[in-house]
Each structure stands twice: as C-alpha cells, then as structure tokens.
Homo-oligomer: A and B are copies of this chain.
Amino acid sequence: MTTENNNKKKTLRVGMIGYKFMGKAHSNAYRAMPMFFSDAPLQPEMAVLCGRNAAGAEEARVQFGWQELETDWRQVVARDDIDLIDINTPSDAHLEIAVEAARSGKHILCEKPLALTLADSRTMLRAAEEAGVKHMTGFNYRFSPAVKLAKKLVEEGRLGKVHHFRARFLQDWLVDPEFPLVWRLKKEIAGSGAQSDLGAHLVDLARYLVGEFEEVIGMTETFVKERPLPSEEGGQSGKDGTDQVQRGPVTVDDAAVFMARFVDGALGSFEASRSAPGHRSTNAFEINGSKGSLRFDFERMNELEVYFTDDAEDVQGFRRVLCTDEAHAYSEAWWPPGHTIGFEHTFTHEVLEFISAIAEDRQPSPSFVDGVKCQEVLEAVERSIEERRWVNLSEMAESGS
C-alpha cells in the first residue's frame, strides 16, 4: 500500500541560482505549494540548487530539499531537464543569468530589483520576449491577501477615483552609527541604498494599485556619513595594534523621500528609510479615493483597514478587516476564518519541542500531565455549573473523580 511519489500531476522542474535570504524564501514556497495549492494545474519540482560555494550550497540543498547541486549557473541554465530558472543572486548577476536563461528557453523568475540599471532591465525583458518564455519579477508584497483585497476594492470601483497614495517603507538597522560599513553601503557594489531596496516595493505597489506614474521628484540623505570598516578590512579590532577603529565613507543613501503625480491625476508621496527607530520593517500605504479609503501595514499583514463614504451616517469609520475569510484570496488553502497566516508556525514549534524532548530523553512541555490538569479544571468548572457552587480543584483529585 505504498507509493513513494505522486506521478499523476504534471510538474515543472526548477533550477534555483542563489541560496541566501531570498533563496530560502523561494525554497519554502516551492515546498509549500504542492501541499497548500494541490489543485494547481502544474506543480514545481525542486530539481537543482546552484551556488558557487560548494559546501554552503550543499548544506542549503539538504536543508531546503533540492534534489541536486550545481556550482556553475551556466551548467544549470544549459540543462535540458530544467524548465524554470529562479534567480536569487545579488543584483549585479541578474542580467547575465536572465539573458542566458532566456536564450536557453527557460521560464524566469527574477528577484527585484530586476537589474542594476534601467537599460539592463530592458535588455532582460527583450531577451525574454524574443525567446517567448514566461518572465516574472519578485514583487512579493502584491501577494499578501490584504493587498489582494485592496486591489479588488480599487478595481471594482468601491473606492471611487483615487486621489492620494501615500506609502512608506521604514527600517531601523542603520540607526546605530557603529554598524559597520558592509557592502550594501557601498555604491559600487549595491548601486543605491534605501531607495532601490525598499522604495522599489513601494513603486510596484503604487503601480499595481493606482496605475502609471506621470512625473516625480525626490531627495535623499545619508545621515551617518562614515562607518567602521568591517574587521576583515582592518576595521573594528584595529589591524595596527591600536584601539583606533578605522572608518570609511558610506556612499549610498540612508533614506529617500519623493513625490509623484500619477497619470490618472492622483498625488503620491513616498518615503524609504533605514534610519527610522522602532520600525523593523514597516511597509505601509494608504489610498484615499472619492468613495472611500484603505490602508495596509505589513507588520499586520492579515489586516486591511477600509472606509466607505456611503456607510450609515452614525457608524462611519475605518473597518479593520481580518483577511482570513472565505471571501479573501488564498484563504481556502490555509486555515479557517480568524486563523491568521502564521497559525501553522505554532505547530512547527510544537513538533520541534516534542522531537527535541525525545532526543534529549525528557518529557516535553506540555505533556499528558498538562492535558490531564487542563481536564481537571474544565470538569471542575462543569461541576460548578451543575451544582451552582465554587468547586475546589482538590475535589478533582484522583480518588475523587
């Protein structure tokens, strides 16, 4: 009564280049899709993971569950048994890989920003179009159920004509002036700072929800202009035997603010910063239209706040909609209404506790003892209701039950 694989479903063999933060997020997505979206017409097969560092990549391969390992992306792109190339490398490698993948007839999923320059991104698009392959840019925030609801409300005209779009993506990891001068803070490697890293998501959300931009103007600032060199560059510990920390110039922006006018007449205001204390990663926006408003904050990704001008006069107000109902995108695949995205993690941590306890030869917490004690309280409450009196837990002692 055993079958190792389900061969009935058509699959798409994926080759993934890069295995760090985004590689982990994408791997998880390929693992989760067959389980939660088993009705999809096609399912991914985690065929090849590619990373230049063989040891690190092999560790990731095992951890993430890819079938094979490659260390040269050209090998992956060239393989006949690969259908889709997923690019998670640093941005400067996107162009070459994507163009080559397109030429090899592979579908391409590429992380944002698509390329270091507009010209490069156009080259990539042209290559994909000429090859006739499918191409996608990784603007993942579009796929929050609450953002999907926002899109639906705008498209159905339930907010009327859009007047305002205001958005901000705020982080705070650069507030500490002793945070070292990592490569992300060097223009020659990273291209730019908060604006392209965080601002790119805001621009995409604006286009997705409001439409095309007409004109823009902005400003940027680097609040901490010099930072300690990382120790490997002779910084921190002080190569020369002195205690002096060596510092180097920060060449990208810490923060950017810009305004925009949209083709359809709306006004946009945008802000991206890595120097906003208290904001670990606040990606938030608000739309005001002629018939209503909505707002979203990724820190509370299950929620969308919505306001309608035609609500009854005495009960007008922003509604906090928990986007876990059947009426909301993706909800059927996950959990019952009210069980927010993330609910499933409690079970993962629970299983971790149990399996760790077994490995360490101890009882986990909560054990059956906790199950019994919970039952004692519940039955004591039940008895208190039946007998209309206070019940002491000592009455539930074993002999008494």
Q: Which listed residue (B114, B164, B176, B401) contacts A375, Cβ 8 A?
A: B114
Whether, in the assembled complex, A4 has its beta carbon less than 8 Å from a beta carbon of chain B, the answer is yes
Q: Which listed residue (B139, B378, B381) contacts A370, Cβ 8 A?
A: B139
Q: A1-B68, A257-B259, A279-B338 are in contact. Are A31 and B35 (CB under 8 A)?
A: yes
Q: Are A290 and B375 in contact (CB under 8 A)?
A: no
Most buried by B among A309, A313, A350, A379: A350
Q: Distance in Å from the Cβ of A76 to the closest Cβ of chain B?
A: 11
Query: Which chain B positions have C-beta within 8 A of A350?
Result: 29, 109, 136, 138, 140, 142-143
Q: A143-B346, A207-B374, A348-B32 are in contact. Are A340 and B301 (CB under 8 A)?
A: yes
Whether, in the assembled complex, A118 has its beta carbon less than 8 Å from a beta carbon of chain B, the answer is yes
Q: Which listed residue (B254, B265, B363, B379) contacts A221, Cβ 8 A?
A: B265
Q: Are A33 and B317 in contact (CB under 8 A)?
A: no
Query: Which chain B positions have C-beta within 8 A of A135?
Result: 363-364, 367-368
Q: Are B137 and A374 in contact (CB under 8 A)?
A: yes
Q: Distance in Å from the Cβ of A217 to the closest Cβ of chain B?
A: 4
Please encode chain A, from 350 to 390, with 1 for each CB lying within 8 Å of some chain B CB and 0 for all others.
Answer: 11111111111011111111111111111111101100111
Q: Are B207 and A364 in contact (CB under 8 A)?
A: no
Whether, in the assembled complex, A89 has its beta carbon less than 8 Å from a beta carbon of chain B, the answer is no
Q: Are B112 and A371 in contact (CB under 8 A)?
A: yes
A residues 169-228 with Cβ under 8 Å of B? 170-173, 175-177, 192, 195-196, 199-200, 203-204, 207-208, 212-221, 223
